[in-house]
Amino acid sequence: MKSLRRFLYRLFNSAARHEHEERLREEIAEHIVLQTQENLRAGLPPIEARRRAMFKFGGVEAMKQDYRAERGLPIIENLLADLRNAIRTIFRMPGLATVIVLSLAIGIGVNTTILSWIQLILLEPLPAVGGASNFLVVEPHTDTGGYPGASWLEYRDLQTQLPALRDLVASEMVPFNVGEKGRTERTHGQLVSGNFFSALGLKPAIGRFIRPEEAERPGTEPVIVISYDYWQTRFRGAPEAVGQKLRVNERDLILIGVAPREFQGTMLPLKFELWVPATMAPALLGGTRDLEDRNSRGFSLIGMLRPGATREQAQAEFSTAMAQLARDYPEANAGIGGEILSFWKTPRGPQRMLISGLAILQGVMLLLLLAVCGNTANLMLARGSTRQHEMAVRVALGAGRWRIISLVLSENMLLALLGAVLGVALAVWGTTALRIAPMIGAFPIQFQTRVDGLTLAFAISLGIACGLIFSAAPAVQLARLDPQQGLRASSNTPPRSRARKVLMGAEVGVAMVVLIAAALFLQSFRSARQTDPRFRPEGVLLAAYDLSGRNPNEASEREFSTRLLERLRSLPDVEAAAIATNVPLDLHGIPARSFTVQGRVRTESGQDRAISNTVTPGYFKVMEIPLLAGHDFAEMADRTAPAQAIVNEEFVRRYLNGADAIGRRIQRRTESFVIVGVARNAVYNAFDEPPQPAMYFSYRDIPASEGEIHLRTRGGHETALASEARATLRDVDPMLPLYDVRTFSQHIERNLYLRRIPARMFVVLGPLLLGLAAIGIYAVVSYAVARRTREIGLRLAFGATSQRVVLQIIRENMGVIIYGTAIGWVLAFVISLHAITRGVINLPVFIGVPALLLGVTTLACWIPARRASRIDPMAALRHE
């Protein structure tokens, strides 16, 4: 208690420093006056009286020192003094400090942003759901390696057969058409089991959630829960929304509650807006057999371990249960086992792919940050050496080793923490910028990354680690300083620093690797953009419709697409129209299907597969893909022609050895198609893909409930067709919304979005790294040159030309740079050979990048060297 009070007083006193200094001075003066008077009274002469008084008082300075030590807290005061000193020092080198802080900020900011993504996927995979990383994915798993999803009945069985799991939750994603006739809007929702919200531990923002009994029997409660965003945008956040009716797939559902703000469903990163009891499926999705058909596997299951249960236990129970189901229902469950996976390993969603990508990115970025540290250490070493004199004076005046180290540390820590703070600001900006949900394909996607306590701690510890790393070398260097040496040394050539050169070489090596990676990446991205897709996307408008909410059968689907196509073709501005199930260059890819083709004898086991797209006649005209042989599909209304298929060149080359394909039969499961045409190869899933075998089928033969309308404009801009297309669809079916309307070019751009992020990152990082390397080399060389002013002056005085001096300095430094470059080059070469291009080496990159790097580094050497060669020899010799 006493010591606490004393501590607080001292803390306070540290702040009120001047006042106390003054008080002490007054007290001393008063003391001496009184003593002098006393001495005078004793009969001493005035001068002697004062002298004795002073003598008796003792050493004023030593006492003041004690007094100060007692008054304040020396550690804190030293720290404050160091901090003040650090701020002054930093202000004395604004350029250098800016470079250091900015480069650190970028390094830390990028790392923090990436961590926030990793955190989102690994630790908080379900926004608004606490402890979501504890959820396990319960996935039926086929012998052939697929994850087909679970059926509703299977879910009901599993609920009772997995005692190791509590709260087994089922959900299925479904697109809904919400709204009144003619004004419907396509919105994505989930059909959920009754325990969905309670198992996730969610609290409604308003109203209530679906109750377990509301998802017991088919078609019971017509209730719906909406997302917070949906509530805000469609109901303006009005509390009266609860209890209102919402028209979904032409059924009235009662809105019972609103999900919490950040909740976006259980299938990251998809963003769902509506939740409906799974038992509503038959009512909402006319004719769906989701609830009674064990072959209808649309549900995803997640669950949490019961306390005390292990994952192995759950896995064993799941395997047993699935084996039992396979025995009980062989026609639906034969060959289907089960797997229990961590949430981030879910087969539905990009988490697994993202995590490995992010981990690599994080690694590269940490390497970059290390390079920044090395750079800063180099700069600090260079600066530290020029401060040897200052430090020698400090040591001579009695500063201990630790005071010197803490001085250097506080300067560097201040820089590092400034960098960290700025980095956090960058990360906050970066994560919010990335939160803005891009619409990819027809699905709204949202990554709710954020900077929170963990990421903040990460950023700050990165800052501290960086500070420690780049303080270590200069601090040790300065603390080891012998004051005598330091005071004298200024005129001697300093010992060459091996550490600095190694750092310089390593940095150049890292720069080399990252620059080559960046260049390769950019190249592949650019070349991808420039590749001819072998169809013509310009002038084509895309739009999608979906009949699945409407209980269609084959006949009605065929009839619908026939009518729609007819109407679309008759539009005056439309040159050609078609409908297809898949659009090339889609993020999700076009599915490949297995088949057998007449005249093909497989030697190895397994099945042939080819990309498969179902299209209407006119498709090849819209896409401007020429038919090399045969003809287009029969018209939709044609009822006599047999089922048809069109294949591409690669299909013929690969599966028919280039023989004539027309007239051969393709067998797909039970159906048989006759090949009527051969189309030119086109790009299907990616610009840089090798030629893919593909087969096209006709809507006439395989009607589908969904379709992507393709319209080629007659000359005007394709966007002008949007309203006509919408009106046409409304004419054909007033209830059906047209969604995902975009030009083909927009479609491609959007799907390149994910590829663009790393490309952009490399565009920024490449030059940054080059700049960092150049600055590092410049600093080291200019420091070394400055230290050798006298030597250079001597050389010049003895007749060396300035050219010779420049050359010599460059030669001395280029040695280590060339080593670094060579090592980096070999590393990049090996990585590229094995990981990136798989055997193809991009020569321009592997020659151009080292040339650029060497050019820039030579320049960084040359500038200080030339400055040194301009020294006036007389001035240089007098200088010290």
Partner 1 sequence: MKQKTDVLQGTLALMVLKTLDVLGPLHGYGIARRIEQISGDLLAVNQGTLYPVLLKLENEGAIASEWGASENNRRARFYRLTREGRKQLQVERQGWEQTAAIMARFFKAKTEDLS
Contact residues toward partner 1 (CB under 8 A) are 2, 5-6, 9-10, 13, 23-24, 26-28, 30-31, 33-35, 37-38, 55-60, 62-63, 66-67, 69-71
Rounded-to-integer distance, Cα 568 and Cα 583, Å? 18
Three-class SS state of 232: helix
CB of 82 to partner 1, least distance (A): 24
Rounded-to-integer distance, Cα 209 and Cα 206, Å? 9
H/E/C letters for each residue in 633-662? CCCCCCCCCCCEEEEEHHHHHHHHCCCCCC
343-379 per-residue burial string, b: 16 or more CB within 10 A, e: under 16: bbebbebbbeebbebbeebbebbeebbbbbbbbbbbb
Select 58 or 145, whichever has its Cβ closest to partner 1.
58
- 106: Cβ contacts below 8 Å, ≥ 6 apart: 372, 423, 426, 768
Select 6 or 84, whichever has its Cβ closest to partner 1.
6
Query: Within 13 A of 176's CA, how many CA atoms are on the CB side?
Result: 29
Of 798, 779, 777, give the one whose Cα is nearest residue 876: 798
Select 32 or 854, whichever has its Cβ closest to partner 1.
32
CB of 15 to partner 1, least distance (A): 14
Select 59 or 94, whichever has its Cβ closest to partner 1.
59
Strand-pair partners of 443: 440
Rounded-to-integer distance, Cα 592 and Cα 608, Å? 10
In the chain, count H helices and then E strands: 28, 23
CB of 405 to partner 1, least distance (A): 24
Select 37 or 386, whichever has its Cβ closest to partner 1.
37
CB of 400 to partner 1, least distance (A): 16
> Do the beta carbons of residue 276 and residue 253 sit within 8 Å?
yes
Select 6 or 217, whichever has its Cβ closest to partner 1.
6
CB of 35 to partner 1, least distance (A): 6
Rounded-to-integer distance, Cα 418 and Cα 69, Å? 31
CB of 402 to partner 1, least distance (A): 18
Strand-pair partners of 173: 190
Select 20 or 653, whichever has its Cβ closest to partner 1.
20
CB of 44 to partner 1, least distance (A): 16
- 505: Cβ contacts below 8 Å, ≥ 6 apart: 816, 817, 819, 820, 823
> Do the beta carbons of residue 272 and residue 227 sit within 8 Å?
yes
CB of 52 to partner 1, least distance (A): 11
Select 55 or 91, whichever has its Cβ closest to partner 1.
55
Of 470, 388, 375, 466, give the one whose Cα is nearest residue 778: 375
Q: At what angle do helices 401-435 and 94-122 cross, to 10 degrees?
A: 50
Cα 302 to Cα 18, 145, 150, 202, 683, distances in angstroms:
67, 19, 11, 15, 37
* CA torsion through residues 73, 78, 83, 87, sign: positive
CB of 84 to partner 1, least distance (A): 24
Select 17 or 750, whichever has its Cβ closest to partner 1.
17
CA 458 to chain centre: 16
CB of 78 to partner 1, least distance (A): 19
165, amino acid identity: L
CB of 36 to partner 1, least distance (A): 10
| Phi, psi of 277, deg, nearest 5 | -60, 140
Select 37 or 492, whichever has its Cβ closest to partner 1.
37
Query: Within 13 A of 191's CA, how many CA atoms are on the CB side?
Result: 28
Select 67 or 329, whichever has its Cβ closest to partner 1.
67
Select 60 or 852, whichever has its Cβ closest to partner 1.
60
CB of 50 to partner 1, least distance (A): 14
Q: At what angle do helices 351-386 and 94-122 cross, to 10 degrees?
A: 160
CB of 793 to partner 1, least distance (A): 52
Select 37 or 461, whichever has its Cβ closest to partner 1.
37
CB of 24 to partner 1, least distance (A): 7
Distance from first CA to last CA of the chain, Å, rounded? 58
Select 57 or 429, whichever has its Cβ closest to partner 1.
57
